């Protein structure tokens, strides 16, 4: 999991970094708001933002995040008690708000819940399952190892199952912010469709892709 952390308190920043690195996650930390702002579109799976930081505040960064990522979770961590600022954070798309001081384990619980870290293995149809950590797709008892991009793509679709995932979101998540042509995206989709056998992946012209599964699964 690739996480962006913005926290201008050096001690707290290092403590959060250590916690998530111990759990095997890639965490890119910033103290300066401008540096975090410039890095938003580098393919993150989760954002943890303080509000009152140097140069560019967390609310402005949150606005930019929502231009690149519709669904990627954003957790605000802040000592502010100003209701207008808290309301702005939710209005502009933050998923949760954690008031300082807090226990690091409390932040970990929120990230685990919102970023689906605890759902390493997902069953999405009868005799179909996917293990993101192992990059393993099980289809009718046959175990198939996915490439990194196939695994990231399938994980993104399953997190947003029954919702259209835009080309921009796919590029930012699967290619980690690097440019990906439509042909490159279609090539990965073609490979996934062949392995899945069933027609789970639906294409929506000029919009993106949707992973269609029964809502009763």
What is the predicted pLDDT for the residue at 22? 78
The DSSP output letter for 26 is E
The string of pLDDT tens digits covering residues 100-151 is 888 888 888 888 888 765 456 788 888 898 987 778 899 988 899 999 899 9
The DSSP output letter for 147 is P
What is the predicted pLDDT for the residue at 118? 44
What is the predicted pLDDT for the residue at 137? 92
d(CA 213, CA 40): 31
What is the predicted pLDDT for the residue at 116? 64
The string of pLDDT tens digits covering residues 45-88 is 889 999 889 999 889 999 898 887 777 899 999 887 778 888 88
Q: Residue 215: pLDDT above 80?
A: no
Sign of the Cα torsion 64, 70, 74, 80 reads: positive
Provide, rounded to the nearest whole percent, the portion of the chain with pLDDT above 70: 95
d(CA 16, CA 70): 25
Distances (CA, A) of 9 to 32, 36, 52, 55, 152: 10, 15, 10, 15, 32
Q: Residue 191: pLDDT above 90?
A: yes
Distance of CA 122 to the CA centre of its chain: 16
| Whether the Cβ atoms of residue 211 and residue 162 lie closer than 8 Å to each other | yes
Domains of the chain, each with CATH number or no CATH: 2-114 (3.40.50.2300), 121-211 (1.10.10.10)
Distances (CA, A) of 88 to 7, 139, 144, 184: 19, 44, 45, 37
Q: Residue 212: pLDDT above 70?
A: yes
Taking the model in full, what pTM does it have?
0.60
């Amino acid at each position: 999991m690739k996480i962006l952390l913005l926290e201008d308190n050096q001690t707290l920043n290092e403590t959060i970094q250590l916690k998530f690195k111990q759990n095997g996650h890639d965490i890119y930390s910033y103290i300066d708001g401008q540096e975090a702002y410039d890095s938003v579109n580098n393919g993150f799976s989760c954002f943890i933002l303080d509000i009152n930081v140097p140069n560019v505040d967390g609310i402005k960064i949150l606005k930019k995040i929502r231009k690149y990522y519709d669904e990627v979770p954003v957790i605000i961590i802040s000592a502010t008690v100003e209701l207008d600022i808290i309301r702005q954070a939710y209005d502009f798309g933050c998923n949760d708000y954690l008031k300082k001081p807090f226990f690091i384990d409390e932040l970990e619980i929120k990230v685990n819940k919102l970023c689906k870290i605890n759902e390493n293995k997902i069953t999405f149809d009868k005799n179909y399952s996917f293990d993101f950590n192992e990059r393993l797709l099980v289809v009718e008892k046959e175990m198939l190892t996915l490439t990194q991009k196939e695994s990231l793509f399938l994980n993104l679709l399953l997190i947003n199952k029954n919702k259209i995932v835009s080309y921009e979101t796919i590029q930012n998540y699967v290619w980690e912010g690097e440019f990906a042509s439509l042909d490159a995206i279609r090539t990965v989709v073609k490979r996934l469709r062949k392995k899945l056998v069933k027609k789970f992946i639906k294409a929506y012209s000029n919009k993106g892709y949707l992973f269609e599964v029964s809502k009763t699964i």
